[in-house]
Copies of this chain bind each other. A is one copy, B any other.
């Protein structure tokens, strides 16, 4: 049984409701790093919540290039899309070993039926993801290489800290420089150059898949990063 209680999606629900949900059959699965949870173009019948590990979500273009849409962290809700009957429009690939709770469409349908509060939680979560997606639009559309990278680092740093009560300046960083490039709309080579420059200015340290924020204020100023309001799920309206 999946430890449902700690997931974002269920965090603010009254506990008798959570108990009810735990009684639905939900499967828990584990994936090794680099494997796919699902691939763009597949039919999908499940939705997932990420329980542990990092997942990257991306779209692939006809010309073979890739745009990473989002890094999913523990608690995030995956594979929810407007048209559940169409093939899924992006891929989800594990960056580290990951575990998920699986909700077959049928279970969700039943849960919605019996506990309509859930739908408003889903709306809430989708709206929060939307807001993140808008931030990244601004980031890619209107900032230069250093600013984009600083923003990416701070966003991940913050999302991880709020998720995990994690309070160091160092976070795990499982992505490669190519992943960074495909996230912020640059090339691998330019990411490397920019990284060097941030390093030489003493703003960050990034090595062996660990990122350290050395000068938070300067980095935040550079990124145009304003600490997001601490966003716990809450009654929608």
Contacts and interface: CB of A to CB of B under 8 A. Distances in A.
Interface of A: 59, 61-63, 65-67, 69, 80-86, 89-90, 105, 108-109, 112, 116-117, 119-120, 122-131, 133-134, 136-138, 140-143, 182, 184-185, 224, 229, 231, 234, 236-237
B62 A105 contact: no
5 contacts: A82-B128, A82-B130, A83-B231, A122-B123, A140-B185
Contacts of A120: 112, 116, 119, 122-123
A30 to B, nearest CB: 25
A123 B128 contact: no
B82 A137 contact: no
A185 to B, nearest CB: 4
Contacts of A108: 237
Contacts of A59: 134, 138
Contact of A80 (B119, B127, B136): B127
Contact of A127 (B81, B85, B116, B185): B81
Closest 9 CB pairs of A and B: A116-B116, A141-B185, A119-B119, A82-B128, A123-B123, A119-B120, A82-B127, A67-B138, A126-B126
A133 B236 CA distance: 22
B224 A109 contact: no
Nearest to A130: B130
Contact of A124 (B61, B82, B109): B82
Given A80-B127, A137-B140, A140-B141, 10 more contacts: A61-B138, A67-B137, A69-B137, A81-B131, A82-B127, A83-B229, A85-B234, A89-B134, A105-B237, A141-B182
Nearest to A139: B67
A199 B173 CA distance: 46
Contacts of A142: 61, 65-67, 182, 185
A62 B185 contact: no
A43 to B, nearest CB: 13
